[in-house]
Structure 1
Amino acid sequence: MRNQLRIGTRASLLAVTQSTWVKIQIESTCPGTQVELVKITTKGDRILDVPLAKVGGKGLFVKEIEDALLAGAIDLAVHSMKDVPTELPEGLHIGIIPARETPCDAFLSTRYASVEELPTGACIGTSSLRRKAQLATLRPDLTILDLRGNVDTRLRKLEEGEFDAIILAGAGLHRLGKTDKITTLLTPEQMLPAIGQGALGIELRETDTELLAGLQFLHHRATAVTVAAERAFLLRLEGGCQVPIGAHATLSGDQITLTGLIAAVDGSIVLKEHITGSAREAAALGTALAESLLSKGGKAILDAVYCTGS
């Protein structure tokens, strides 16, 4: 391993916390290596007054970091996998995927114990079309409002009474040491997670084979296999992280089970199926599941989303 490494990361508290965890793992496993964090502001971080789904484009939280990687300004990048587009710039790859945190969404409220307990007309906040669509199916009587900002900003808005409840990724709250803020975790059956939610990805230059070998101790096969199935599903749907698509894969022995979802933003249509097969066929299973949902009305749903930009 090299004596010095530079990790590119978003400047948000969660991103820095995630990258700091990687830094600690490297420095403790490779005592002769010093790791520096290089904080980079992305387009998604700069635009805070517009719902992400209306900003458009893919890679809102990774492009500037990837540019720095290609330019040699950093040696590796740490991303939340749910932010990473399925198609990467030439010369880069996600070489390492550590063990996944919980993939589940978290329900947070200062007054109510669950989504079911919210009164009619209650205001619930989320910036995700995937969450909005599934909430609209679970509770069509709720008022679903956009919620942007970092985790602390979102928690403050909840605590100040701006929302009756909010939905955040459970993994981020766990990593920030804010598990006590979670009222309950929503099961994948209640709300299917985003593709790659809870997983980190370490992006490298393809030519850095020695660095890739040195970081293998961080790689977690089961997480990599399940994320590969989910991302193949997303790739076939040509979706980004801001469309009403969800997927969640689990591994049992050598068998992988993948559940996928395409939904209308208003929750009026929800297409959901699962597929099971060999872990060796993870990507093929993701593609097959996407084809099935597209043929059953998913294409029309996604066309409508892309045309309206909502």
Structure 2
Amino acid sequence: MSKVIRIGTRDSELALWQANTVQEKLETLGHNTTLVPVKSAGDLVLDKPLYDMGITGIFTKSLDIALLKGDIDIAVHSMKDVPTQLPKGVVKTAVLERAVSTDILVHKGTDFLEGKGTIATGSLRRKAQWLAKYPKHKMVDLRGNVNSRLIKLIENDWNGAIFAKAGLERIKLLPKDAVALDWMVPAPAQGAMLVVALEKNTEVVAATASLNHTASDIATAIEREFLRTLEGGCTAPIGALATIKDDTVYFKGCLHALDGSTFVEVIKERPLGKVAGFGKSCAYEVLERGGKQLMEDIKNELNNTVH
């Protein structure tokens, strides 16, 4: 296409790495592109009609607005940050080949693991799963982009902090002694990058669709269907991972109490050709086996915390 594709991205180092990756792939295919870094939602005035379009993601809101206003042609996201319901008129055009989905512990020595310790994370899922394994540990809140979170870990007397391995690898900040948390079920779509565009912008949709990696698209769709069915609009400690091997999809999903004291887990497999509704059926099984009450408890607890 002759038109220059404007690639919207947040302006953190990791977000820019992701956008540059998409830019390189599109340029290789012969498309002209330009990067458009967009400030976070806090820098923008959000008018009511845009809220009515179903924008909910705290990390994606500013890019959604830029897309809907026509300031950018596509947006590049960390897929795990994207709400399962996209704004009206916005469509998924590509899921790039997924990187490793593992969580890791960045630490100042691991002697504390068998005793008392303080671990930092802003994720309900990571907190709940960590407390399920290490109930004696104290959890502290940690927010911000990858770089600022690493600096906060250095500056505070915490024993460690939990990160997505893919994020640190991508910007070459992965410590050699980081501990892989293979027992921790990742966030749905962790390690995957998503490209979205306006549905009516058919030229751009077609151009970016060629970047889609089918296996990553299928796996993340199952995980996000599991998430959407369980959540019902409520944030909760939900983990999900679908892996494809030899024409079989292997799925593991879990829902934890906020304090990690109880959880419901599902482990299933299904032929690759029969995955329609797989994530939903796994979520229903979790709900039937105690997940429904657990979700009610989580909602009540979060509401009490807010109020």
TM-score in terms of structure 1 length: 0.88
- Count of residue pairs the alignment pairs up: 293
- Give the alignment of 1:181-220 within 5 angstroms: 183-187=178-182, 190-220=183-213
- Give the alignment of 1:7-156 within 5 angstroms: 7-30=7-30, 33-43=32-42, 58-112=56-110, 118-156=113-151
Q: Deviation per CA, 1:32-82, whole angstroms, max 9, x where unpaired?
A: 513222323135x99xxxxxxxxxx94111122112111211100001111
Following superposition, the deviation at residue 181 of structure 1 comes to: 5.5
- Counterpart residue identity of residue 6, structure 1: R
CA 1:199–1:298 in structure 2 vs 1: closer, same or farther (change >3 Å)? Answer: same
Q: Deviation per CA, 1:220-242, whole angstroms, max 9, x where unpaired?
A: 00100000100110111135694
- Counterpart residue identity of residue 66, structure 1: D
CA 1:80–1:240 in structure 2 vs 1: closer, same or farther (change >3 Å)? Answer: farther
- Counterpart residue identity of residue 228, structure 2: L
Tell me the secondary structure at the aligned position of residue 37 of structure 1: strand
Percentage identity across aligned positions? 37
- Give the alignment of 1:256-295 within 5 angstroms: 256-295=249-288
CA contact (8 A) 1:106 1:183 kept: yes
CA contact (8 A) 2:131 2:260 kept: yes
- Counterpart residue identity of residue 126, structure 1: T
Which 10-residue stretch deviates more, 10-19 or 232-241? Answer: 232-241
Following superposition, the deviation at residue 22 of structure 1 comes to: 1.1
Q: Deviation per CA, 1:237-270, whole angstroms, max 9, x where unpaired?
A: 1356942111000001321111110110111111
- Counterpart residue identity of residue 40, structure 2: T
Which 10-residue stretch deviates more, 300-309 or 134-143? Answer: 300-309
CA contact (8 A) 2:94 2:210 kept: no
| Structure 1 unaligned regions, length at least 5 | 47-56
CA 1:239–1:9 in structure 2 vs 1: closer, same or farther (change >3 Å)? Answer: farther
CA 1:303–1:249 in structure 2 vs 1: closer, same or farther (change >3 Å)? Answer: same
RMSD, aligned CA: 2.1
**Equivalent residue, structure 2, for 1:158:** 153
**Equivalent residue, structure 1, for 2:242:** 249
Runs of 4+ in structure 1 deviating by more than 6 angstroms, as ranges, are none
**Equivalent residue, structure 2, for 1:51:** none
**Equivalent residue, structure 2, for 1:50:** none
CA contact (8 A) 1:38 1:74 kept: no
Looking at structure 1, the residues matched to 7 and 22 of structure 2 have their Cα atoms a distance apart, in angstroms, of: 9
TM-score in terms of structure 2 length: 0.89
Following superposition, the deviation at residue 85 of structure 1 comes to: 0.9
| Structure 2 unaligned regions, length at least 5 | 45-54
- Counterpart residue identity of residue 145, structure 2: N
Looking at structure 1, the residues matched to 168 and 24 of structure 2 have their Cα atoms a distance apart, in angstroms, of: 19
- Counterpart residue identity of residue 231, structure 1: R
CA 1:299–1:282 in structure 2 vs 1: closer, same or farther (change >3 Å)? Answer: same
CA 1:182–1:35 in structure 2 vs 1: closer, same or farther (change >3 Å)? Answer: farther
- Give the alignment of 1:171-182 within 5 angstroms: 171-180=166-175
CA 1:37–1:217 in structure 2 vs 1: closer, same or farther (change >3 Å)? Answer: same
CA 1:240–1:181 in structure 2 vs 1: closer, same or farther (change >3 Å)? Answer: farther
Tell me the secondary structure at the aligned position of residue 79 of structure 1: strand
Tell me the secondary structure at the aligned position of residue 267 of structure 2: strand
CA contact (8 A) 1:95 1:212 kept: yes
Looking at structure 1, the residues matched to 38 and 141 of structure 2 have their Cα atoms a distance apart, in angstroms, of: 27
Looking at structure 2, the residues matched to 27 and 144 of structure 1 have their Cα atoms a distance apart, in angstroms, of: 44
CA 1:193–1:7 in structure 2 vs 1: closer, same or farther (change >3 Å)? Answer: same
CA 1:97–1:262 in structure 2 vs 1: closer, same or farther (change >3 Å)? Answer: same
Looking at structure 2, the residues matched to 235 and 280 of structure 1 have their Cα atoms a distance apart, in angstroms, of: 22
Tell me the secondary structure at the aligned position of residue 100 of structure 1: coil
